[in-house]
Amino acid sequence: MGLVSGFVGSQALLALVELGVLDRLRDRPRTAGELSPMLGLAPDRAAILLQAGVALQLLRRARGGRYALARRGAALLGVPGLGAMIRHHHVLYRDLTDPVALLRGEVDTELARFWPYVFGAAGPVAPEVAATYSDLMSESQELVAEETLRAVSLAEVGCLMDVGGGTGAFLSAVGRRWAGPRLMLFDLPEVVAGATARFARHGLAARAEIRSGSFRTDPLPRGADAISLVRVLYDHADSTVAALLSQAHAALPPGGRLLISEPMSGGARPTVAGDVYFAFYTLAMRTGRCRSAAEIAQLCTDAGFSGVRAIPTARPFLTSVVVATR
Ligand SMILES: C[S@@+](CC[C@H](N)C(=O)[O-])C[C@H]1O[C@@H](n2cnc3c(N)ncnc32)[C@H](O)[C@@H]1O
């Protein structure tokens, strides 16, 4: 049953988030009748949604026919940007309407247009589009950074360059954790614009340098003894990844460190997060793919890196980590 109900559950979750149900229960439990005018739903329809919320363990039944936030619902509300991240799945679900056509490459996917400049190949992008994208990414970055920095210590790094680092969320997490590393951000010009304010907000402006360009066409800046690629490789085809890793190799001094962090396929042991969710998500993105740690390690080795190894993370559905040495 779980297999076929999963998609319906996702749609119910979308409705709960879209209508702000969790938010409306933040202060106190309410009945379906109380909520119905707030949600713009007939009472019996509101009850259907609330019951689904309970079944999904986001809500719980309280006394007097009321519905309250369950621990999972409260946790969801507590993660910044998670609501927006859930809402953007409308786009993915439309692309998945005919999964066979998607697999055959016959769908002109909306998701590819939703993240239009991810690939740096589509020309300039409107600032508001860049901002929406960057907000979604940087808000979800907090959890990814937390998981990544649990797996690796960057305390001894002299200068960390985060390539495809968006608006500097990962570097800010590194800077707040360790006082030592200088921070260098490299991303497309329309994206890095948001980084100045972020570094200033975290008191990191003096340690941070912002460089813009495209790793497709520009050489990577020199001067860093460690390079991170967080949620970058899975957006791109193998040929782009191979060229990027060669660039990273050339930009690092001997002994320099490479850190790759992104959701990965389970490889020989497929996982629902990596081999269902992220595999189909990147399929709909159309230019990249979700690779296993072994595949990423091979690409690193081919680019000239040594000491390549995967480091297990506690929450692989958020991210997995591969490190290597120049
Ligand atoms: C999926 S986002 C990840 C952002 C950030 N590392 C994070 O995890 O939140 C991919 C990033 O790669 C950047 N990117 C894509 N193509 C690029 C290119 N050709 N040159 C530089 N950056 C690029 C995008 O602008 C975006 O910030």
Q: Is 17 in the pocket of ligand 1 (CB under 6 A)?
A: no
Shared domain check, 145 and 67: no
pLDDT in tens, 226-274: 999 999 999 999 999 999 999 999 999 999 999 999 999 999 999 999 9
pLDDT of residue 116: 57
Supply the pLDDT for residue 234.
96
Percent of the chain as helix, strand, coil, to the nearest 5:
50, 15, 35
For the chain, the farthest-separated pair of C-alpha atoms sits apart, in whole angstroms, at 68
Same domain, 177 and 305: yes
**Is 188 a pocket residue for ligand 1 (Cβ < 6 Å)?**
yes
**Count of domains in the chain?**
2
The alpha carbon torsion through 215, 324, 167, 86 (nearest 10 deg) reads 110
Q: In angstroms, what is the span from residue 175 Cα to ligand 1's centroid?
A: 19
Cβ 216 under 6 angstroms from ligand 1 = yes
pLDDT digits (tens, 9 = 90+) for 4-33: 888 899 999 999 999 999 999 999 999 999
Q: Is the shortest distance between the CB of 190 and ligand 1 below 6 Å?
A: no
Note whether 47 and 163 are same-domain residues.
no
Are residue 69 and residue 148 in the same domain, yes or no?
no
216 CA closest ligand 1 atom index: 19
Q: Which residue of 232, 236, 261 sits with most ligand 1 atoms within 8 Å of its CB, as the best mutation to test the pocket?
A: 232
Q: What is the pLDDT of residue 198?
A: 94
pLDDT at 137: 75
Residue 281 pLDDT > 80: yes
The model's pTM is 0.90
**Within this chain, do residues 257 and 180 fall inside the same structural domain, yes or no?**
yes
Residue 165 CA, ligand 1 centroid: distance in Å: 6
Q: Give residue 301's region: left, alpha or beta (phi > 0; psi -120 to 50).
A: alpha
Q: What is the CATH number of the domain that holds 31?
A: 1.10.10.10
Mean pLDDT (whole number) for 76-85: 85
Residue 110: is its pLDDT beyond 50? Answer: yes
**Cβ–ligand 1 contact at 170 (below 6 Å):** yes
- Residue 256 maps to which CATH number? 3.40.50.150
In this predicted structure, what is the pLDDT of residue 24?
97
For residue 161, tell me if it sits in a domain: yes
**133 in a structural domain:** no
Look at residue 119 in the predicted model and tell me its pLDDT.
Answer: 46
What is the per-residue pLDDT across 119-151, written as a single tens digit (0 to 9) for each? 444 555 566 656 666 677 777 788 899 999 999
- Please work out whether the CB of residue 214 comes within 6 Å of at least one atom of ligand 1: yes
Instruction: Provide the pLDDT confidence category of residue 80 given band limits of 50, 70 and 90.
Output: confident
pLDDT at 106 over 80: yes
Looking at the domain assignment, is residue 114 inside a domain?
Answer: no
Residue ranges making up the domain that contains 173:
141-325
Domain assignment of residue 150, yes or no: yes
DSSP 3-state assignment of 99? helix
User: Tens digit of pLDDT for each residue in 47-68?
Assistant: 999 999 999 999 999 999 999 9
Check pocket membership of 120 for ligand 1, CB cut-off 6 A: yes
Q: Is the pLDDT of residue 46 over 70?
A: yes
Q: Is residue 73 part of a domain?
A: yes
**pLDDT for the residue 131:** 64
Q: What are phi and psi of 229, to 5 degrees?
A: -130, 100
Q: What is the mean pLDDT of residues 75-100?
A: 90
Please give the mean pLDDT across all residues of the chain.
Answer: 92
Average pLDDT, integer, range 296-310: 98
SS (H, E, C) 263-316: CCECCCCCCHHHHHHHHHHHHHHCCCCCCEHHHHHHHHHHCCCEEEEEECCCCC
Closest CA to 158 of 227, 90, 210: 227
Ligand 1 atom at shortest distance from the alpha carbon of 169: 9
Gap from CA of 127 to ligand 1 centroid (Å)? 15
Indicate if ligand 1 lies below 6 Å from the C-beta of 53. no
Amino acid 4: pLDDT: 83
Q: Is 274 in the pocket of ligand 1 (CB under 6 A)?
A: no
Task: Please write the tens of the pLDDT for every residue from 180-215.
Answer: 999 999 999 988 988 999 999 999 999 999 999 999
> Do 168 and 309 fall within a single domain?
yes
